[in-house]
Amino acid sequence: MPDAEITLKGQVEEIIFENEANGYKVLAVSGDEDFIAVGKLPAISLGELIEFSGEWVEHPSYGRQLNVQTFRPILPDSEDAIYHYLCSGLIKGIGPRTAARLISLYGPKTLEVLRDEPAKVAKIKGVGLRKAQRIAAQIAEKLEYQDLVLMLTPHGIGTGLVFRIFREWGAGAAARIRENPYDLADEIDGIGFLTADKIARALGLSAADPARLASGLQFQLSQAVYAGHTYLPRLNLLTATAELVSQPVHLLEPVLDEMTADTRLIAFDVPKDGAGIALPIYYQIEKSAARRLNVLLDIPPTRYIDWQDEPTAKRILSESGQALDLELAPEQEQALIMALAQSFCVLTGGPGTGKTTIIRVLTDSFKRHGGRVLLAAPTGRAARRLSELTGCPAQTLHRLLALPFAGQTQNDPALNWLTLQSETPLNCDLLVVDEVSMLDIVLFRSLLEAIVPGTRVLLVGDADQLPAIGPGQVLANLLESGALPTVRLTKIFRQSHESLIVRNAHHILNGDRLETDQSFDSTFIFVAKEDAEAMGLAAIRLASQILPQQYGFDPHRDIQVLTPSHKGPAGTVALNHALQGKVLEAQALMAHGVWFQTGDKVMQMRNQYELEWTVDPDLNLPNERSGSTTTLENAASQGKGVFNGEVGLITAIDDDDDELTVLFDDGRRVIYDRAALEDLDLAYAVTVHKSQGSEYPVVVLVIPPTAPRLLTRNLLYTAVTRARQKLLLVTSKRILHAMLGNWQKTDRFTLLDEWLSATTAKP
């Protein structure tokens, strides 16, 4: 049980460690009690008098430390304290002699005079006006920061966020917040409307203030984007915002009209929903994606033109089929003929229906005739799997596009994509993109911009998977629009049909009862447990003991625990803590309440465009299917960008520099400092949503009682299809029955299908 929060006051005697990127410090403090203070302590300098609040923690190497939650700088008010304050070097330009002279003149009011009356100080011998003004500015900045800390920390805003605000807005931050607290929600990453609203109400702003209502509308649209929508119907937006701000709709309507008039928001007509409202960036991205796709659809393939002739296509495909010792089924041949004849088309189907066979034959056909082929997928694990299956190098879309991110702007990463194009066009004859169900509209738009018109493009995905984590539902929209040539595979091939995982995936789609085989060698085992605690314990035992010891599976490389939720005894937080085991190493780092140590399996939790990576050119990655190694080909040796959902292993920890190194699935090495660690988490257990696009040799799927929106057939199908060799389903019969009967079609408000068929989307 953690110690109760305590408050200690003292002077900073030494800064033992400092990370300038995020303000994390280790301080030696002297006072009534000498102690070590650790935490995000930005803008604290040697000699300052500080009041710290926090709790005692025991570091495995450095012993007892005060883990600081909040702090408050205190200006000294006695002549002795002021002298030590000025002599500490905290205020540049003042030494012991000048400090003594100032105190002899102004006594306890010395700091006030230094801050407010630089002209008076300038008359002192050896100071001068310019130096006096610099001293005044330093003291004023310290007080400004103190003002900001005192204003924000009572509202639950930690010192790390306070530092980010101060760095972003400077000395006028506190005044700006007093003028319009809702700027915090609109411009500072990590602060939402509810926090800004709490501050605003404490400052006395009216509940019906137009700035509050405007921020509420903006917040609801931003939340809609996080939920996958690219717009909201006007009535939905007004109703949801009215509930959020507890104000009637009629007060919101004129505010919304003003926001659309000055283009802070975009209003437009939607045939299926009436009036729609969108954030400008997503409206433009979705519409420009449709325009670009229409261009690509209108231009036929520019190379291997004779392959558009069906007899010629059949001959080409027959040659590759024989060379690969593959016999094509009629619908597979139909899909391949489509891919050779069309410039842009879609292939969809469930597990075991032969999508991989089609990709193998297609890539072989082009390579056999000297064609240039590019293969890509949204995640590193999916790209690696695609490479292993086809024998051709594949990359993530981010690396393939080599997007030169400039960092986030106005709290919205999409702003970097609107005018952004790949540094080099995708010069190839065939581009195959797998796991397209994972593509959000932002990444899809960037992909389209990089494709050279006349290139053959095949998009491959399973339309029944959960949609992308980001905004949009690209694959579903493409299929619904009817604008693209499409083949849907339905036949399960004999070899795949022998797998209980594949058969049960299709049973799930149909809502049918699942088949189980409880034998040792079964590929699909049902572990019945009735409550969340028992389910969590069973999942931990399976992943950490039974599967490694009795089956010989590697806990890091082969086994993945999946669950729908983060919370509870069978959620990711509790499972990760248990599966990580005791943190034994002296070299370990803590961030956002999580210990990280060498060998830990970790996941990037949000897009981070500025993180730099390198690749060892001699690095060989283990091939999970063949047991051999895969060499990284045609891959850049360095670059920027680590993205939501990417998984790796911690290979090194540097205690001195407070950094750790992660080796990701595709061979990139990334060094994380304290600031970057905020976006890293353990990945022994991940949510089903985060597992999209990945495939694992063994999956332990634990489904505890949770919100009905998570207990759906769609989620169960996505989770089951992540397993390749063995799946162990830990849940109750009651929950399983409920999920099989709960088919929820993804209901996202998106416009790509509308724009594809609308004349306004055509160039």
pLDDT tens figures, 733-746: 999 999 998 887 66
**Using an 8 Å Cβ cutoff, are 344 and 460 in contact?**
no
101-125 pLDDT, tens digit per residue, is 888 888 888 888 887 888 888 877 7
pTM of the model: 0.76
**Using an 8 Å Cβ cutoff, are 630 and 388 in contact?**
yes
CA atoms within 13 A on the CB side of 405: 21
Identify the weakest region by mean pLDDT among 190-204, 584-598, 646-660. 584-598
Query: Is 90 exceeded by the pLDDT of residue 86?
Result: no
- Please give the single-letter amino acid code of residue 338: M
**Between the ranges 11-20, 42-51, 101-110, 697-706, where is the mean pLDDT highest?**
697-706
For residue 623, what pLDDT band results from cuts at 50, 70 and 90? low
Residues facing residue 328 across a β-bridge:
none
Task: Compare 556 and 545 and report the one with higher pLDDT.
Answer: 545
Name which of 545, 500, 539 is nearest 519 in CA terms. 500
661-672 pLDDT, tens digit per residue, is 999 877 889 999
Report the chain's C-alpha Rg in angstroms. Answer: 30
Burial pattern 205-219, b for ≥16 Cβ within 10 A else e, equals beeebebbbbbbbbb
Q: How many residues does the chain have?
A: 763
Cα 705 to chain centroid distance, Å, stands at 26
**Using an 8 Å Cβ cutoff, are 25 and 44 in contact?**
yes
**Using an 8 Å Cβ cutoff, are 220 and 237 in contact?**
yes
Structure tokens at 514: 């699942």
Residues facing residue 433 across a β-bridge:
376, 459
Structure tokens at 122: 């300038």
510/489 Cα distance (integer angstroms): 16
| Cβ burial, residue 696 (10 Å; 0-12/13-18/19+) | buried
**Widest Cα–Cα separation across the chain:** 101
How, if at all, do strands 49-59 and 24-31 pair?
A: unpaired
**Using an 8 Å Cβ cutoff, are 651 and 638 in contact?**
no
Using CA atoms, how far residue 221 sits from 229, 256, 477, 684, 749, in Å, is 9, 12, 20, 33, 11
Residues facing residue 487 across a β-bridge:
347
- Please give the single-letter amino acid code of residue 1: M
For residue 495, what pLDDT band results from cuts at 50, 70 and 90? low
Structure tokens at 728: 């162990």
Report helix angle 234-245 to 249-261, nearest 10.
Answer: 120
Mean pLDDT score, 510-525: 90
322-351 pLDDT, tens digit per residue, is 999 988 889 999 999 999 999 999 999 988
Mean pLDDT score, 704-711: 86
Residues facing residue 25 across a β-bridge:
18, 39
* Residue 728: predicted pLDDT: 96
| Cβ burial, residue 262 (10 Å; 0-12/13-18/19+) | exposed
**DSSP H helices in 262-408:** 280-298, 310-323, 330-341, 355-368, 380-390, 397-401
Query: Is 50 exceeded by the pLDDT of residue 65?
Result: yes
**Mean pLDDT across the chain, nearest whole number?**
84
For residue 291, what pLDDT band results from cuts at 50, 70 and 90? very high
Number of Cβ atoms within 10 Å of the Cβ of 510: 10
Structure tokens at 63: 């012993």
For residue 62, what pLDDT band results from cuts at 50, 70 and 90? confident
* Residue 547: predicted pLDDT: 95
**Between the ranges 8-17, 182-191, 196-205, 671-680, where is the mean pLDDT highest?**
8-17
Query: Is 70 exceeded by the pLDDT of residue 762?
Result: no
Identify the weakest region by mean pLDDT among 192-206, 248-262, 380-394, 485-499. 485-499
Query: Is 90 exceeded by the pLDDT of residue 3?
Result: no
Angle at 714 between CA 521 and CA 748, to 5 degrees: 155
**Using an 8 Å Cβ cutoff, are 665 and 647 in contact?**
yes
* Residue 193: predicted pLDDT: 86
Angle at 44 between CA 43 and CA 47, to 5 degrees: 140
Grouping H, G, I as helix, E, B as strand and the rest as coil, residue 184 is helix
